[in-house]
Structure 1
Amino acid sequence: KPPQQPQCDVKCAEPECQVLCPDEPCTSDDCTCYTKCAEPQCVTRCKAPEPECQVACLDPKCTWECHKPECPKPKCELVCESPHCAPNVECCKCKGDQEPFEVGVKVFKQEEKDAKCCSCSASPKPTQTEEFNI
């Protein structure tokens, strides 16, 4: 659609005119008077048209394709810095003298050979095993 032109109005004031006759009295029948008007005083006022715009966006045309790369699963292992390091193993809930620990207290042993840890009996504790209350 072509753009609309502004709408303009011209308003002019009444012209200022006067009739002029010769200064000297007229002695004949041929006296000529004339009318003299000032330049017209006009004002032009324009109103801009309302915009008739529409947003026109096209959908993007993408040509790239993305896919997840095939990476091998990482191989991880935990290595201790100290040769005497061993994971803590949760043990039974008794002190070894058949007296139970308080509720919520866990006992861990390091370097334990038996996965079941201590038995809840009064048997002597192995010398290479350390007990920790946490």
Structure 2
Amino acid sequence: MSILRIEDVEQAASFPEGMEMATENVWGYLLLLCLQESGHGSRIVRVSREQEPIEYRTEIDEGIRSHVADVDGVDYAPGFLDWAWYFQAPGPWISFWSRLADAMEPLLASEAPTPTENYQAMKQAVAALFADR
């Protein structure tokens, strides 16, 4: 089973300049997992929520956990939302999420992909977007 290894991610004291905040949803979690599994874990930084004015959101945590449960071979990391997550995007961060979606689209076999199909496409897209970076 794949799981985000929180303890392997660098911890910063505050918002790391020049980095993109991972979305607080299943896309953010799976992106971080893809980065870690593809050897780009050094591009991820976590900041304790105790040090930032961000409230812990149990409802969001449960939503992410339930969606990750639908992805074959992936487990949700306990304590994920105890941290704010950031990553160094390749190129201009403002267009990263649209570039990721564009890279995933041709890899999806249907117009209504399963969560597992989305994750497999994301792994391939992340590998391509972060290649040689």
TM-score, with structure 2 as normaliser = 0.17
Counting strand residues as a fraction of each chain, which structure ranks higher?
Answer: 1
| Greater helix content | 2
Whose relative contact order is higher, 1 or 2, with alpha carbons under 8 Å and at least 6 apart? 2
From the CA coordinates, give the structure whose radius of gyration is larger: 1
Output the TM-score relative to the length of structure 1: 0.17
